[in-house]
Amino acid sequence: MPKSWKVAVIGSGDMGKQHVKGWQAAGHEVVSITDIDASRASALAQECGVPTVYQDYKEAIAEPNVEIVSICLPLAFHAPVTIFAAEAGKHIFSEKPLARNPEESAAMEAAVRKAGVRFGLGFQRNLSQGVHKAKELVQAGTLGRPVFFECDSVAEIRPKRIMHDANGNMGPLMDLGCHYFIMWQTVFQSTPKSVYARGKVLAKERPELAHIQELAIDSAVVTVEYESGDVGVFTVTWGMPPKFRMKAREDRLFGPKGGITGGFNNNPSKLNLYIEDGVEELPLVTYKSLHKEQFDRFVQALERQGEPAAAFREGNDILLLTLAIFQSIETGEVIDFKAFCKETSR
Ligand SMILES: NC(=O)c1ccc[n+]([C@@H]2O[C@H](COP(=O)([O-])OP(=O)(O)OC[C@H]3O[C@@H](n4cnc5c(N)ncnc54)[C@H](O)[C@@H]3O)[C@@H](O)[C@H]2O)c1
């Protein structure tokens, strides 16, 4: 009989709901839900049959029956809650991004190591079969090398205003870009070499954001060249007016011999492969829940002493790339990624 782990979910917003359902689908027991908004936590607890609700994460984590703490809070809380949970001897699964800066991530990693607990990071979109099919085809040379991977996202200003706060979730380059940056790294099997980005705050005049002291970059074009010679391009805006109807373009990956289009990291049921003058549909397994999938893998890592699908290494790689992108936007320069990492980790 597989072990059913006891999980405390912290945060009952969009991701909190996905985590509660994902843990339950994976056969584990969500013993409590915590949110400063008690009515939100209670509504989710009632919907999902979870017995206990807290407003204070410290109380929830201190409960002796809790084995795993599942963090679904805004970015600024990832570090303090991870550190508190590690010091309480609990395993931790946190939503992405890892942290706001290398100081926070180093403190998290040190606490986890000292406590001898395990840590997993929520990059569930990178488990999509579309990412792994793209990796397989690129690594087999089906498209030729180098390849360009163009990703695109267009959205109205985010209803969760904290997403626009430079001191909150830090805008789309931090909050959303991480899904694309880890996908590039996976598909190219390489590390960034140089980074160039231009970014603006297109929504700076919007009255809905007037209460935010420092607005994050909401729109950017990012170009990252990898050591492999492959190039990732990310065009993003969260600066459009409410109910804006223009949509993002489909993601595209192409090299000298062919190309692929599709929603690579969005749990797609197919990709389109273009070789010479032909086009072929590549059917893929669609997971019922990528969250269940990521929790299955985290528990396997706990039970067999293996590695989770993503943890500090992946989180730090993506954090450093994001910070290099911010530096390029600020300075207008091309950033030498190796030199940037050396400087930043000093
Ligand atoms: N993996 C993904 O695809 C994905 C998608 C969306 C969001 N996320 C990440 O998940 C995290 C949460 O995002 P979300 O969309 O669920 O946000 P959300 O705003 O929907 O939910 C966050 C919840 O945390 C609660 N909260 C805030 N501070 C708290 C505290 N100190 N103690 C207890 N509760 C507190 C809020 O009341 C809110 O209910 C972010 O890091 C975000 O980047 C990941």
What's the pLDDT at 2? 85
Q: What's the 72 CA to ligand 1 centre distance in angstroms? A: 5
What's the pLDDT at 306? 82
Angle between helices 312-331 and 337-344 (to 10 degrees): 110
CATH 3.40.50.720 fits 6-117, yes or no: yes
Give me the sign of the Cα torsion angle 303, 306, 307, 309: negative
**DSSP secondary structure string, 266-324?**
S--SEEEEEETTEEEEEE-PPPS-HHHHHHHHHHHHHHHT---SS-HHHHHHHHHHHHH
Name, in order, each residue with C-beta under 8 angstroms of 99's C-beta and a sequence gap of 6 or more.
Answer: 75, 78, 79, 105, 108, 315, 319
How far, CA to CA in Å, does 152 sit from each of 98, 109, 241, 332? 22, 32, 18, 22
User: Is 11 in contact with 35 (CB distance < 8 Å)?
Assistant: yes
Q: Where are the domains of the chain?
A: 6-117, 126-287+320-344
| Residues in the ligand 1 pocket, defined by CB under 6 Å | 11-16, 34-37, 40, 57, 72-75, 77, 95-96, 122, 124-125, 160, 169, 175
What fold is seen in the domain 126-287+320-344? Dihydrodipicolinate Reductase; domain 2 (3.30.360)
User: Is 270 in contact with 282 (CB distance < 8 Å)?
Assistant: yes
Name, in order, each residue with C-beta under 8 angstroms of 226's C-beta and a sequence gap of 6 or more.
Answer: 184, 188, 190, 191, 192, 193, 232
| Res. 1: pLDDT tops 90 | no
Amino acid type, 255: G
Q: What percent of the chain has pLDDT over 70?
A: 100
DSSP letter, residue 179: H
Q: What's the 171 CA to ligand 1 centre distance in angstroms? A: 14
What's the pLDDT at 305? 77
Instruction: Quickly list H helices, 140-244.
Output: 171-175, 177-188
Backbone φ and ψ for 294, nearest 5 degrees, come out as -70, -35
What's the pLDDT at 304? 86
Name, in order, each residue with C-beta under 8 angstroms of 51's C-beta and a sequence gap of 6 or more.
Answer: 31, 32, 45
What mean pLDDT, rounded, does the chain reach? 97
Q: What percent of the chain has pLDDT over 90?
A: 97
Q: Ligand 1 pocket test: which of 9, 10, 12, 14 has the largest number of ligand atoms within 8 Å of its C-beta? A: 14
CA atoms of 285 and 267, how far apart (whole Å): 8
User: Is 251 in contact with 204 (CB distance < 8 Å)?
Assistant: no
Q: Ligand 1 pocket test: which of 21, 55, 72 has the largest number of ligand atoms within 8 Å of its C-beta? A: 72
- Residue 59 neighbours by CB distance under 10 Å: 13
Instruction: Express each pLDDT in 192-245 by its tens digit.
Output: 999 999 999 999 999 999 999 999 999 999 999 999 999 999 999 999 999 999
Q: What is the mean pLDDT of residues 64-74?
A: 98
What's the pLDDT at 127? 97
Q: What is the mean pLDDT of residues 134-144?
A: 98
Q: What's the 71 CA to ligand 1 centre distance in angstroms? A: 8
CA atoms within 13 A on the CB side of 307: 6
Residue 135: band (very low, low, confident or very high) from pLDDT cuts 50, 70, 90: very high
CA atoms of 187 and 140, how far apart (whole Å): 11
Q: What is the mean pLDDT of residues 178-182?
A: 98
